[in-house]
Amino acid sequence: MKWIKIKSFPYSMLKKLNDFFGRENLKDLYHLINGFWVQVFLDFKKGTTEHKRAIKTSLVLCILVFTVLSLALLRFTESSTFCGLCHQMNVYMESWSTSSHRHVACTKCHYEPGLINHLKGKWVDGQVSLAYFLSGKRPSKPHAEISDASCLQKGCHKIEDLQGDMVYKNVAFSHGQHLGELRRGMKLRCTSCHAQLVQGAHLTVHETNCFICHYYQAGPKGEEECISCAVGSCVSCHVEPKGDIKVKGWNFNHQKYIARGVECERCHVNVVQGDGHVPEGKCLQCHNEPDILATKYTAQFMHKKHVTDSKIECADCHTHIRHEIGPILTMVHSPTVCDKCHSKEMHLAPRDFYRGVGGIGVPDSPSLMFTTNVDCIACHRKGEESRAALYTTKYVERAMGEACVSCHGEGFDETLKQWQLLLSRAKRDTNQRISNIQEILHEAEGDRTRASELKKAQNFLNEARHNYNFVHLGKGAHNIEYAIKLLNAANNKTEQALTVLDRNYKSKEFKTEMTCTTLCHIGIEKQAVPFNDIKFSHQTHVLGKKLKCMDCHTPRDNHGKTFHKNCKDCHHGKQIKKVKCEDCHVSVKRLVHGKGGIGVKERPSNKLDVVECIDCHRGVPAKKRDSFDDIKKRCIECHDQSYGEMLTRWKATSEGLLTKLDPKVEKVREEIRRIESRGGHTFVYRKPFGEAEFNYNLAKKGNGVHNLEYLEELIEFANSRLDEATKQLSKKK
């Protein structure tokens, strides 16, 4: 029989079956099995024919259930809950949940845009998840790559939104300059800066990478050979600090120093710590292939592989760099060009004197320049004029004076000369007193009955000599106020010595103090200075009226700002006939006369030569400030009720025009300032803006109710010039 000769069965097995069942029985068994399956097929065919509709419905339901379950499972695998199933992901999930991306699905960023890329991502993640599930192992530190395409896809960050500058922690930052240009020979990507460096901060910018890139091998500020390695200068990043800054209880304002072009490094020394080098053996933390480790690679190749092509954190390879304004120096020393020849122990006396420590009988009094972190090199700097002061032991007064002028402005070279003259006289007098008392002590040395008194007097004299020598060796100009205090203490010590030597001697106390005119403002009492719209004469007020500095200015800790309130104490009241209103209120005068504006015709007020200032401001003789309601009543007294309402309309109109123009002025000013902070030229914008600002200030200071028609013309011209400046600035972008 053919059915016994099936090749898949061994012959021995067939023989055993024949022997066991017998040929006839085996044939019956075949027919039995065959008949069973034939009957099953016929019954199945009959059942499907009779229940065809039910079967189709069931299949549709099964497909729907399968589809719903598949979509639900797919949805779940793309949720934050699924991503956070691994306990290693907890810290990332927590940071994501508090970040600005908390409403964005993980896959929105972690998969590149497009259906194909999305499916590829799901396939790879599925294999990885299955491997983790089967092996039971998890990565110690998950690593992910986010492409720029994910960040810049539709509905997220647009290229247009990244144009122009933004301010980040007082730093003017440009996305275009970082993403569109090579930096240190490498191409950056979004995640080069927006990284996961800080636990709890999801894809946020941190200064670590900024400092490593900008200050790699730069070293401390002051080392000219190293600082040239830095990318950009201070002003390429930092915007101008606004307003006053408190430094050790003193107010400091950067504006006037920036206006003079004073370099930031003159005060901000040692703002960079570390050089960001790559330690030896760092590559072994990730690589163990001998061929890779033995090969020499260029920096460009390494950065392309690790930064551009793969997202490896800069801090994983480079050492940490700090860039900050540190605490006030405890020792006046920074790594400067001086260290090439001199040891740190050089000039200890001037350093201690600058710090204001080491005197006897005088509390520690650091120089104000020391409290603002001004180091030696700020004055003893490299340059043709100060080369002798820097490289020889000769003191060049001219060079030092020019260093004063470069920071503080014209006239401050005379301040240094005044200090030297003042110190010379004070030191001469103190030295003479010490010598005289020493002679008295020598004469009294033979009287043994007064040994204890002589010893006490000698101690006083030694303390006086210590202070004098400290001023001499420390170069008193380094801390002029401290020098005067020390010489006062030295003179008082000599007085104490005289009191011990002569009980009938009546001692006197030395209280010499540095004043505004001897400390900084030399000769100011004879000068006229700008004040608001006028020239203020110190000679008239200080020499003529014997006023003191504090009568008009705030104390030094607020840097001598001028009072406005007490002017009326002299110029209003009885003095009103000697001083005309227009002598001080120049802007009001210009507005009333309709003169002084730019780009507008003269338009005097119809009240000119008809109404005097005192007719409306009747409170001036009584040193009282008139309110708007007071002036309104006087309008009604001379005219009628309608004039009071008219004054109200004038006031509302003028204030409305100024309020509307104010943000426009500020916006253009800020844009020009940003261009200047990047080193750009702004003359073409400065001219129209300057004319607009001049008219705006004239209208604001002059008070529009004095001449509303002229104010409207000033504002109209200012507005047109601002539009012109804005149009030019938009082309710059």
The more confident residue out of 579 and 585 is 585
pLDDT value, residue 465: 94
Angle, helices 708-732/641-677, rounded to nearest 10 degrees: 20
Specify the residue for token string 């306990």: 87
pLDDT value, residue 369: 85
Q: Apex CA 469: angle with CA 467 and CA 470, to 5°?
A: 60
The more confident residue out of 563 and 710 is 710
pLDDT digits (tens, 9 = 90+) for 667-686: 988 888 878 776 677 778 88
pLDDT at 339 over 90: no
pLDDT value, residue 394: 47
pLDDT value, residue 484: 94
The more confident residue out of 577 and 433 is 433
pLDDT at 645 over 80: yes
The more confident residue out of 425 and 319 is 425
pLDDT at 70 over 70: yes
Which H helix or E strand runs over 59? helix 52-77
- Which pair of structure tokens corresponds to residue 549? 């500095």
How far apart are the C-alpha atoms of 629 and 619, rounded to whole Å?
12
pLDDT at 336 over 70: no
Nearest to 407, CA basis, from 272, 520, 242, 330: 520
Which SS3 state, helix, strand or coil, does residue 563 take?
coil
Average pLDDT over residues 606-613: 82
Count CB neighbours of 615 within 10 A: 12
pLDDT value, residue 330: 47
User: H-type helices in 136-194, by residue range?
Assistant: 148-151, 175-179, 190-193
Confidence of residue 199 (pLDDT cuts 50, 70, 90): low
The share of the chain scoring above pLDDT 70, in percent, equals 84
- Where does residue 329 fall: left (phi above 0), alpha (psi -120 to 50 degrees), or beta otherwise? beta
pLDDT at 462 over 90: yes
Across-strand partners of 537? 528
pLDDT value, residue 333: 46
Sign of the C-alpha dihedral computed for residues 473, 477, 478 and 483 taken in this order? positive
How far apart are the C-alpha atoms of 599 and 616, rounded to whole Å?
30
pLDDT at 467 over 90: yes
pLDDT value, residue 133: 72
Asked whether 713 and 659 are in contact (CB, 8 A), the reply is no
Asked whether 189 and 242 are in contact (CB, 8 A), the reply is no
Confidence of residue 2 (pLDDT cuts 50, 70, 90): very low
Asked whether 510 and 497 are in contact (CB, 8 A), the reply is no
Average pLDDT over residues 286-311: 83
Out of 200-204, 286-290, 619-623, 633-637, pick the least confident.
200-204
Confidence of residue 306 (pLDDT cuts 50, 70, 90): confident
pLDDT digits (tens, 9 = 90+) for 363-385: 999 988 888 778 777 777 655 44
The more confident residue out of 727 and 141 is 727
How far, in Å, are 2, 30, 35, 76 from residue 26 at the CA level? 13, 6, 14, 58
pLDDT value, residue 532: 73
pLDDT value, residue 537: 82
- Which pair of structure tokens corresponds to residue 162? 């990244």
**What integer best gives the mean pLDDT of the chain?**
79
pLDDT digits (tens, 9 = 90+) for 389-410: 444 444 455 667 777 888 887 8
The answer for residues whose C-beta is within 8 angstroms of residue 166's C-beta and 6 or more apart is 172, 173, 174, 175
Asked whether 260 and 409 are in contact (CB, 8 A), the reply is yes
- Which pair of structure tokens corresponds to residue 59? 């299949």
pLDDT value, residue 250: 74
How far apart are the C-alpha atoms of 244 and 463, rounded to whole Å?
40
pLDDT value, residue 23: 61
pTM: 0.61
pLDDT value, residue 716: 92
pLDDT digits (tens, 9 = 90+) for 497-525: 999 888 888 889 998 888 888 888 888 88
Average pLDDT over residues 196-211: 71
pLDDT at 431 over 90: yes
pLDDT at 577 over 70: no
pLDDT at 309 over 90: no
How far apart are the C-alpha atoms of 460 and 456, rounded to whole Å?
6
How far, in Å, are 310, 403, 668, 720 from residue 717 at the CA level? 56, 43, 15, 5
Out of 195-209, 298-312, 480-494, 507-521, pick the least confident.
195-209
